[in-house]
Amino acid sequence: MSYVVETWELTKVFKKGHVKAVDAVNLRIPKGAIYGLLGHNGAGKTTLLHLLMGMLLPTAGGGTVVGYDMVKESSLVRKSVGFMPENYGLYDYMKVDEFLEYLADLNGIPRSAAKTTIRMLLEEFNLWDHHSKKCGQLSRGMRQKLLVISMLLKEPELLIMDEPTLGLDPLAAREFKELIVRLSAKEGKTIIFSTHLLQEIGGLCSHVGIMYMGKLLIQGEVENIKKRFLKKQGYMITVEAHPLDEAYKLLGDQLQEQVALNRGRILIYAHSDVREAIFDLLASHGIKVRDLHLEIPSLEQIFHKYYRGEC
Ligand SMILES: Nc1ncnc2c1ncn2[C@@H]1O[C@H](COP(=O)(O)OP(=O)(O)OP(=O)(O)O)[C@@H](O)[C@H]1O
Ligand SMILES: [Mg+2]
């Protein structure tokens, strides 16, 4: 499989503070992914993203970003990738359209083509009504959208955003997430964004990477992470059956697994997903199965287990 971003043992040590901010990270980000890089303050997210953009040199390891070597070809990476930094700067005294024209100029986009693209993008993002306002007069949500537009000017296949929803109110944050989904679904863009908020990830990201003290503890497709977690931690299956006592006794006698009774339900702690065997066993003894399901852990539960070092 080819990846839009791939790193090998990527490491950054800040000599001054003796901090290993990024510690042997092997990122694998497939094309079209919405990849959420999750981690507490100081986990190393910003440092990692700066390494990808060639804004910092690695102490060890390396990688490729959109096919370019992140060290030797960092100028090509910066040219092709849209990047929204954590502490971005807008030229507050510039008008919105002037600011975008200026950026287009910096990116070598011909002026007439730029004007058409800028109008199209401002309309698409509902900012056209504000095009002659000064950047400093925009609300935070509008500024975020303007920054996305500024990334899109050079038509990048990869967008990297550092804490893009920081400081947005819930409505603006939701709008922003919808925008990310649209860019991914409609235009097939690969999107990486960092966040320290778990709720930013659920339902939005196809992939997630959890960082802790410079290390990438786990990464992959959200569904796969859940499956891997289940394999490691065990499966909890809940059964509601009638008659309950009979079902409980039968399962306790016949299954190798740990069986418990809790508030009218039978709980089974298993090493694999044995739902079918449970159903067959109960049915063959004429016991009615009212409910039989696997407890799927939430990303939050998984996240906290990893953080507490329980995985
Ligand atoms: N220029 C620097 N010099 C020395 N240490 C640094 C430098 N930049 C970052 N660090 C340290 O590296 C570690 C990782 O910082 P980084 O900013 O990458 O974390 P982060 O996950 O982005 O955190 P946040 O959620 O607060 O933005 C921290 O311990 C930080 O103090
Ligand atoms: Mg940061």
- Domain boundary, last residue among 211, 227, 243: 227
- Pocket mutation for ligand 1, best pick of 11, 12, 14, 84 (most atoms within 8 Å of C-beta): 14
pLDDT on residue 303: 79
Q: Please indicate, yes or no, whether residues 214 and 254 belong to a single structural domain of this protein.
A: no
What does each of the 311 residues of the chain score in pLDDT, given as a tens digit? 689 999 999 999 998 878 999 999 999 999 999 999 999 899 999 999 999 999 999 999 999 999 999 999 999 999 999 999 887 667 888 999 999 999 899 888 888 889 999 999 999 888 999 999 999 899 888 888 898 898 998 889 999 999 988 878 888 888 888 889 988 998 889 999 999 888 778 788 999 999 999 999 999 998 898 888 888 888 899 999 999 999 999 999 999 989 999 999 999 999 889 999 999 999 999 999 999 999 888 877 887 777 777 76
Number of structural domains the chain divides into: 2
Q: Please indicate, yes or no, whether residues 281 and 150 belong to a single structural domain of this protein.
A: no
Q: Please indicate, yes or no, whether residues 212 and 262 belong to a single structural domain of this protein.
A: no
Ligand 1 centroid vs 23 CA: distance in angstroms?
Answer: 12
Residue bearing tokens 């899109």: 152
pLDDT on residue 229: 84
Q: In angstroms, rounded to a whole number, what is the distance separating the alpha carbons of residues 269 and 35?
A: 32
| Residue with CA at minimum distance from ligand 1 atom 28 | 42
- Domain boundary, last residue among 178, 203, 227: 227
Q: What is the CATH number of the domain that holds 71?
A: 3.40.50.300
C-alpha pair distances (Å), 223 with each of 78, 178, 226, 271, 299:
32, 21, 5, 19, 9
Of 56, 58, 66, whose CA–CA distance to 3 is shortest?
A: 66
| Residue with CA at minimum distance from ligand 1 atom 3 | 14
Which tokens sit at 118? 């800028």
Q: Please indicate, yes or no, whether residues 177 and 278 belong to a single structural domain of this protein.
A: no
| Residue with CA at minimum distance from ligand 1 atom 18 | 44
Domain with 302, as residue range(s), is 234-307
pLDDT on residue 290: 96
Q: Please indicate, yes or no, whether residues 302 and 196 belong to a single structural domain of this protein.
A: no
Q: In angstroms, rounded to a whole number, what is the distance separating the alpha carbons of residues 165 and 251?
A: 49
Ligand 1 site, residue 209, Cβ cutoff 6 A: no
Q: In angstroms, rounded to a whole number, what is the distance separating the alpha carbons of residues 86 and 16?
A: 22
- Pocket mutation for ligand 1, best pick of 13, 15, 37, 45 (most atoms within 8 Å of C-beta): 45
pLDDT on residue 200: 78
Ligand 1 site, residue 46, Cβ cutoff 6 A: yes
Q: What is the CATH number of the domain that holds 264?
A: 3.30.70.100
Q: Please indicate, yes or no, whether residues 144 and 215 belong to a single structural domain of this protein.
A: yes
Q: Please indicate, yes or no, whether residues 144 and 275 belong to a single structural domain of this protein.
A: no
| Residue with CA at minimum distance from ligand 1 atom 26 | 41
Ligand 1 centroid vs 78 CA: distance in angstroms?
Answer: 21
| 117 belongs to a structural domain | no
- Domain boundary, last residue among 178, 195, 227: 227
Q: Please indicate, yes or no, whether residues 143 and 265 belong to a single structural domain of this protein.
A: no
pLDDT on residue 277: 94
Q: How many CA atoms lie within 13 A of 12 on its CB side?
A: 23
pLDDT on residue 1: 67
Q: Please indicate, yes or no, whether residues 177 and 300 belong to a single structural domain of this protein.
A: no
Q: Please indicate, yes or no, whether residues 182 and 156 belong to a single structural domain of this protein.
A: yes
Q: Please indicate, yes or no, whether residues 204 and 259 belong to a single structural domain of this protein.
A: no
Q: Please indicate, yes or no, whether residues 199 and 53 belong to a single structural domain of this protein.
A: yes
Of 173, 170, 223, whose CA–CA distance to 193 is shortest?
A: 173
| 88 belongs to a structural domain | yes
